[in-house]
Amino acid sequence: MERYFSENVECASREEITKIQSEKLVAQVKHVYDNVPYYRKKMEEKGVTPDDIKGIEDLHKLPFICKDDLKDAYPYGFLGVPKSEVSKIHSTSGTTGKRVIAYYTKEDEDIWYECCARALTAAGATKEDVVQVAYGYGLFTGASGVDGGAHAIGAMTVPMSSGNTDRQITFMRDLGSTILCCTPSYAAYIGETIAEMGIKPEELTLKSGVFGAEPWTEAMRKEIEASLGIKAYDIYGLTELGGPGVSYECYEQKGMHINEDHYIAEIINPETGEVLPDGEKGELVFTSLDKKGFPMLRYRTKDICVLNKTKCSCGRTFVRMAKPMGRSDDMMIIRGVNVFPSQIETVLLQEGYKPNYRIEVDRKNNTDTLDIYVELNSEKFSDTVKGLEIQEKSLAGAIKTMLGINPKVHLVPEKSIARSEGKAVRIVDKRKLID
C-alpha cells in the first residue's frame, strides 16, 4: 500500500489545493512587497500592488524574477527577513556568473525537510530505513535537504558526503544501507565500482535511491537500477527555491509531483513570458508560497518542461512535472542547433556504450566543431582499425540523427575520461561566444 508523509495535502482535492495556494499567495505577495524593496520596485514598474492579487488567478500579473535579478541584488537584495531571523544559508557553485545565496529561517528549513521527507517516503523510506546521503555536505543544498528529510521521517541517516567511494561501499555493506541519495552520475559511478569489486547488486541491502541535482535520462536510470539492484527515483529542486524537494517521483516514475502546498508551478513561453495552456512545453516558473527568508515570486528556472495534471495511480493529486528536457545553462547552440548533452547520452546508451563521455565544442574558421570522446568497453572492441573507425562513424551517424548536426566521434580507452564524484563534467566549450 502506498504510504505518504503528509497524506492530507499530498492527496487533497484540487479545490483544497487551490484554496491553500490562493491564501498563501496573497500573504506571500504582501510579505515580499513589504520586505524586498528590489521586488517592490519591479511590482511598481509593472503597476501592480498587493491588493491586485486576490488568488492564484492573479498570479500572471506579477513580474518575473530571473537569475539576472539575483545577480543584481546579490548578496542580500532578496533577503525577506532581518538577518537575525536567518538560521542558515546555502549557495550554488556559481558556475554561471555570480553565485546565488539562499537564506532560510527556522520555519523555512522545516518546510524544506518536510518536502524532502515526502520524497523519501514516496521512495519507500520509513523509520526503519538506513539512508546513506552521498551528496556533498556544505554550501550545496543536496545533502542538507535529504538529510533533514530523513531525520523528519526518523530514519537512521548516514552523512557520508560525496567521494571516497571505497568507504561509501564499506559503510553501505557494514550498516546495511537501504536508501542511497546522491547525484545520478555518482550513483552510476558507485554501481560501476561495485561491479569492478566483484560485488553483485543482490549482495547489497539497498532497495531504492533518490537522485537529483543534475539532468539524467531514462536510459541512465535503467543502468543505475540494474547496477545497484534498486528502484531509482528522481528528485527536483534548485537553490533559488530552497533545494531538492520542490518535486519528487512516486513509484510510477512518470513525472515528479510538485509540492503544491508550498510551490506554484507555471509553464511560460520563454520568448514572450506568456503563460501557456496545460500540457504545453515551455519554461518552468515557480513561486514559493511559504519561504520567508528567500521568497521567490515567479522565478524563471530556465528549465524546459511540461506539466501533467492527469490523475496519478499513486493517489497523490499534486501536479507532475516531466524531467526537464534540459536547462538553458546546459544547452549549447552548435551550428545554430540547440544541443542538450542528455540527447547525446541517450544515443550512447542506445548504442551500447557507457554514459562516460566528453563533449568538446570549438569554432574553427567560423564553423562550430563538435567532438565527442566516448569510452570504449571490451564488449564493443572489434580489434581492427577499420572496424573501430566504422563504429565511430556509425555512432556519429546515430548522434546526427538525434541532433541534426554531424559530430566527430573519438573512441578512447575505458576510464580515460575524468570522473567527478559530484556533478559529471561533460562539456568543454572552447568557443568565445561572449566578450
Partner 1 sequence: MSIKQVSIFIENATGQLADVTKFIADNNINLRALCIADSQDFGIVRIICENPENTVETLSDAGFVTKITEVFAVELTDEAGSLSKALRVLADAGVEVEYTYAFLSTKKNATAYMIFRVDDNEKAIKALTDKNINIISQSDIF
Q: Among 416, 425, 430, 433, which residue interacts with partner 1 (rule: CB under 8 A)?
A: 416
CA distance 299 to 62: 11
Segment lying near partner 1 (by CB under 8 A), choices 80-88, 133-141, 307-315, 384-392: 384-392
Q: Among 384, 401, 432, 434, which residue interacts with partner 1 (rule: CB under 8 A)?
A: 384
CB of 84 to partner 1, least distance (A): 54
Longest dimension (CA), the chain: 74
CB of 335 to partner 1, least distance (A): 22
Query: Which residue shows C-alpha cell 487533497?
Result: 12
Query: If you write DSSP's letter for every residue of 83-134 in order, what string do you get?
Result: GGGEEEEEE----SSS--EEEEEHHHHHHHHHHHHHHHHHTT--TT-EEEE-
Instruction: For residue 388, state whether it binds partner 1 (rule: CB under 8 A).
Output: yes
Instruction: For residue 54, state whether it binds partner 1 (rule: CB under 8 A).
Output: no
Helix count and strand count (H, E) for the chain: 11, 20
Q: Among 386, 432, 434, 435, which residue interacts with partner 1 (rule: CB under 8 A)?
A: 386
Instruction: For residue 377, state whether it binds partner 1 (rule: CB under 8 A).
Output: yes
Q: Are strands 357-364 and 427-429 parallel, antiparallel or unpaired?
A: parallel
H or E stretch at 389: helix 385-403
Amino acid of residue 364 = K
What is the number of alpha carbons within 13 Å of residue 90 lying toward its C-beta? 23
Of the two residues 44 and 389, which places its CB atom closer to partner 1 in the complex?
A: 389
Instruction: For residue 151, state whether it binds partner 1 (rule: CB under 8 A).
Output: no
CB of 383 to partner 1, least distance (A): 4
CA distance 79 to 101: 10
CA distance 123 to 145: 15
Q: Among 8, 13, 272, 378, which residue interacts with partner 1 (rule: CB under 8 A)?
A: 378
- In degrees and rounded to multiples of 5, residue 112 shows phi and psi of -60, -50
Instruction: For residue 8, state whether it binds partner 1 (rule: CB under 8 A).
Output: no
Strand, helix or coil for residue 171: helix
Instruction: For residue 87, state whether it binds partner 1 (rule: CB under 8 A).
Output: no
Instruction: For residue 161, state whether it binds partner 1 (rule: CB under 8 A).
Output: no
Asked whether the beta carbons of 143 and 136 are under 8 A apart, the reply is yes
Of the two residues 60 and 393, which places its CB atom closer to partner 1 in the complex?
A: 393
Of the two residues 173 and 380, which places its CB atom closer to partner 1 in the complex?
A: 380
Segment lying near partner 1 (by CB under 8 A), choices 131-139, 182-190, 280-288, 409-417: 409-417
Segment lying near partner 1 (by CB under 8 A), choices 111-119, 143-151, 261-269, 413-421: 413-421
Burial class (CB in 10 A: 0-12, 13-18, 19+), 34: exposed
Of the two residues 330 and 392, which places its CB atom closer to partner 1 in the complex?
A: 392
Q: Among 376, 399, 403, 424, which residue interacts with partner 1 (rule: CB under 8 A)?
A: 376
Q: Give the number of residues written for the chain.
A: 435
CB of 400 to partner 1, least distance (A): 19
Residues that bind partner 1 (CB under 8 A): 376-378, 381, 383-386, 388-389, 410-416
